[in-house]
Structure 1
Amino acid sequence: MTEPRWLDAAQQRDWRAYIEGSVRLADLLDRDLKSKHGLSTAEYEILVRLSEAPDRRLRMAELAEFASQSRSRLSHTVARLECKGLVARGTCGADKRGVNAELTDEGFALLERAARDHVATVREFFIDVIDPDDLKAVGRAFGAVAERVAKVR
């Protein structure tokens, strides 16, 4: 068995800072959306993806990919959104086996309200605390991470 490539002190410091910051930020964003709008971050992401889609509708398989959720997890999340009247499911036109998720008018209205608060929180705790050059570096870095992880899916 080969020896792992251990992190040096600087890499370990940066890795731990990323873990702590990302976990705390994700928790803050989730708590904020839940307390103000009754939405989890996962539910919010689904509403956003549907709002950006043509006719505010996507196949469930596409939505799972866009929202970075397994199909099973997405199905449960969409079921919760359906119960709230925010999303409706229906068949995919010619392909009767496929299922679409569609953002309802009520869902779109809630998303418009939630997005205002969410962007303010993102700006206060992420965008505005990072130097613009560092923010560009974060974007490049996590674009590369996302690309690498997508290759193993």
Structure 2
Amino acid sequence: MRRDLEAALARDLARHGLSVSDFEVLARLGQAPGGEMRARDLATAIGWDKARLSKHVTRMAGRGLVERREAADDGRGQIVALTAQAEQVAATAAPNHVAAVRRYFFDLIEPDELDVLERVMARINARAAGA
């Protein structure tokens, strides 16, 4: 089920020229003040290691979606920022992604099923957090 849902969401994002990973980066940066974050903070927020983020940001920068620059307060740190192109892509992709999540998942849940789902998900999350 998870793979099928992820594949459906990936197909929808691909129509906007984005991967699920691209969307994760754009969404996090879009929530950050000024549309930018320190690379290490972005990696932590997404749950990626620094190497994975670095490679992915390099690919996204090559496509004009993000830019990198040195952190003004620390010559060792890097800032990753949205570009105007990324903001345009995200402005279209984000509402469509939300609609897709609703269509593939939430619209299928009846109101009387929601309470049960919330309780089950809470137990799963609690067990996973304690693992």
TM range, smaller chain: 0.7 to 0.9
Does the alignment pair 1:26 with 2:6? Answer: yes
Q: CA deviation at 1:132?
A: 2.3
Q: Which has the higher contact order (CA 8 A, sep 6+)?
A: 2
Q: What is the CA–CA distance in structure 1 between the aligned matches of 2:70 and 2:120, rounded to whole Å? A: 39
Gap change, CA 1:126 and 1:60, over 3 Å in 2:
same
Normalization by structure 1: what TM-score?
Answer: 0.75
**Which of 38, 48, 52 is the aligned partner of 1:59?**
38
Partner of 2:22: 43
Higher radius of gyration, 1 or 2: 1
Quick check: 1:87–1:102 contact (8 Å CA) kept in 2?
Answer: yes
4+ runs deviating over 2 angstroms? 134-149
- Equivalent residue for 1:89, pick from 63, 68, 73: 68
Q: Evaluate the alpha carbon distance shift between residue 125 and residue 78 of structure 1 in structure 2; reply closer, same or farther with a 3 A threshold.
A: same
TM-score, normalised via structure 2 length: 0.87
Identity, in percent, stands at: 37
Alignment-derived partner of residue 136 in structure 1: 118
In structure 2, runs of 5+ residues without a counterpart are none
Instruction: Find the aligned partners of 1:138 and 1:109 in 2 and give their Cα distance.
Output: 38
In structure 1, the gaps of 5 or more residues are 1-20
Provide, for residues 112-147 of structure 1, a one-character-per-residue CA deviation record: whole Å limited to 9, x for no partner: 100121111100111112332144335534643664
Is 134-143 or 75-84 further displaced after alignment? 134-143
